[in-house]
Amino acid sequence: MKRITKIISAALAALILASVILTGCSGTGSVFLKCGKTKITENMFVFWLSRYKAQFIYAYGNSIKSEYGVSTVNDFWEMIYDQGTGQTYDDLFTDYIYENALTYLVSLRLFDELGLSLSKEDTDEIDGYISELRDNYAGGSRTEFNVVLQEYGINEKTLRECYLIDKKITVLQKYLFGTGGPEAVTDAKVEAYYQENYIHFDQICVFINECPEISETGGYVTDSEGKVKYRDMSAAETVAARAKAEEAYAKAKAGTDFAGLVSDYNENTETAAYPDGIYMCSDQILYSGDDANRIFDTVSGMETGEVKLLELDNSIHILRRLPLTENAWKISSNQDFFLFYDSESSDYISLGEYIVTPLFLKYIEDKRKEYADSIEVDEAIRKNCKISKVKENYYF
């Protein structure tokens, strides 16, 4: 899979998986989406577009320009994504944000139907935060603050409503999937998610072109940040390394005990810490580098027990796909593979905590099908509001 495809996949996944924690808004303006008494306005959609546009440019702007040879991201929006339909990247990303808008619509209707409400602590927290924003961006002046917010399709009143909606989504998710909730996460649900989204393999790694620096005690040399230091290999070293990898691969294909080959040939000593092998998740791999992407794609296309050789820029990998170990996410030595970084808490969370978001989104998707006949869309707004047309919002 080409790197740019991974960039797009990661960007869209980030959008969908983070949709329940991004701010939204409602308020004045034409009604864009309606489901029963619940409404999403054009203002809300423009605000979402501006938020995500900023996030996308910040995270992927340089990569997009280098991969596509465009001078600005504005040129990227105009490029054709699907030659068959003529869909542009502008259409693609706008459509995904439209899907997020529908997620909000259905979530808010459900929030009301369940009789949920926000606490005084929630509203006080939001009011305090907005007051700080007003002070920081407009010297405390509401009039000047509204002028600033106007660029992103909102004013202070609707910004407050944005954050209230964000809180409502959080409350709804915790009500449904929290401890004692009607959809609470169980071990069975974690195991099902693991079985559906993870691959399991072991490998022999041989370095080419460059290799880790080895200390006098035989370990890897690291820098002040704890990262492994690498040195360039000579041409002769790389030739020898290739021969070594080919020899190991031939033995593996011939049925030689793979564990024994790992002991004899593997140069990546860090994998010794994982006696149960290596686990990779489809969600995690979207945000990894090219090497991890290629390993994931290769193993995903293999049968259990199959062995393949994969050459990367600076290493050759002999991969063997393994069956998924039941409840591997409970095994202490495997924990590195089942942690997810949570930007909200700036800490790592467990697989059980992580899957709340995708499970919640699947739950809302099912509810959306249930409400489908009562969802109304202003197609003129959908046609005219595009991510390319809004100003990127880095601040609110």
161-200 per-position pLDDT tens digit = 888 988 999 999 999 999 999 999 999 999 999 999 999 9
Judge if 82 and 212 occupy the same domain. no
- Inform me whether the pLDDT recorded for 257 exceeds 90: yes
- Inform me whether the pLDDT recorded for 16 exceeds 60: no
The confidence band for 269, taking pLDDT boundaries of 50, 70 and 90, is confident
Kindly state whether residue 348 falls inside one of the protein's structural domains. Answer: no
Kindly state whether residue 89 falls inside one of the protein's structural domains. Answer: yes
Judge if 173 and 198 occupy the same domain. no
Strand partners, 35: 38, 375
Average pLDDT of the residues of the chain: 90
The confidence band for 385, taking pLDDT boundaries of 50, 70 and 90, is very high
Q: How does pLDDT run across 59-107, given as a tens digit for each residue? A: 889 989 988 899 999 999 999 999 999 999 999 999 999 999 999 999 9
Mean pLDDT (whole number) for 314-326: 97
Judge if 312 and 195 occupy the same domain. yes
Judge if 89 and 178 occupy the same domain. yes
Judge if 117 and 170 occupy the same domain. yes
Q: Are 43 and 153 spatial neighbours (Cβ–Cβ below 8 Å)?
A: yes
Kindly state whether residue 349 falls inside one of the protein's structural domains. Answer: no
CA distance 314 to 333: 27
Number of domains making up the chain: 2
Judge if 31 and 123 occupy the same domain. yes
Helix/strand/coil for 298: helix
| Residue at 8: amino acid letter | I
CA distance 264 to 357: 43
Domain that holds residue 111: 3-184+355-389
- pLDDT of 9: 59
Q: Are 252 and 320 spatial neighbours (Cβ–Cβ below 8 Å)?
A: yes
Judge if 130 and 255 occupy the same domain. no
Q: How does pLDDT run across 297-313, given as a tens digit for each residue? A: 999 999 999 999 999 99
Residue 171 contacts by C-beta under 8 Å, 6 or more apart in sequence? 111, 116, 117, 118, 122
- Stated pTM of the model: 0.80
Kindly state whether residue 347 falls inside one of the protein's structural domains. Answer: no
- pLDDT of 209: 96
Judge if 198 and 85 occupy the same domain. no
- pLDDT of 218: 80
Kindly state whether residue 280 falls inside one of the protein's structural domains. Answer: yes
Judge if 218 and 167 occupy the same domain. no
CA distance 26 to 164: 10
Residue among 51, 33, 40, 55 at smallest CA distance from 152: 51
Kindly state whether residue 313 falls inside one of the protein's structural domains. Answer: yes
Q: Tell me how far apart the terminal alpha carbons of the chain are, to the nearest angstrom.
A: 35
Helix/strand/coil for 190: helix
- Inform me whether the pLDDT recorded for 44 exceeds 90: no
The confidence band for 58, taking pLDDT boundaries of 50, 70 and 90, is very high
Kindly state whether residue 330 falls inside one of the protein's structural domains. Answer: yes
Judge if 121 and 218 occupy the same domain. no
Q: Are 391 and 49 spatial neighbours (Cβ–Cβ below 8 Å)?
A: no
Judge if 39 and 175 occupy the same domain. yes
Judge if 366 and 291 occupy the same domain. no
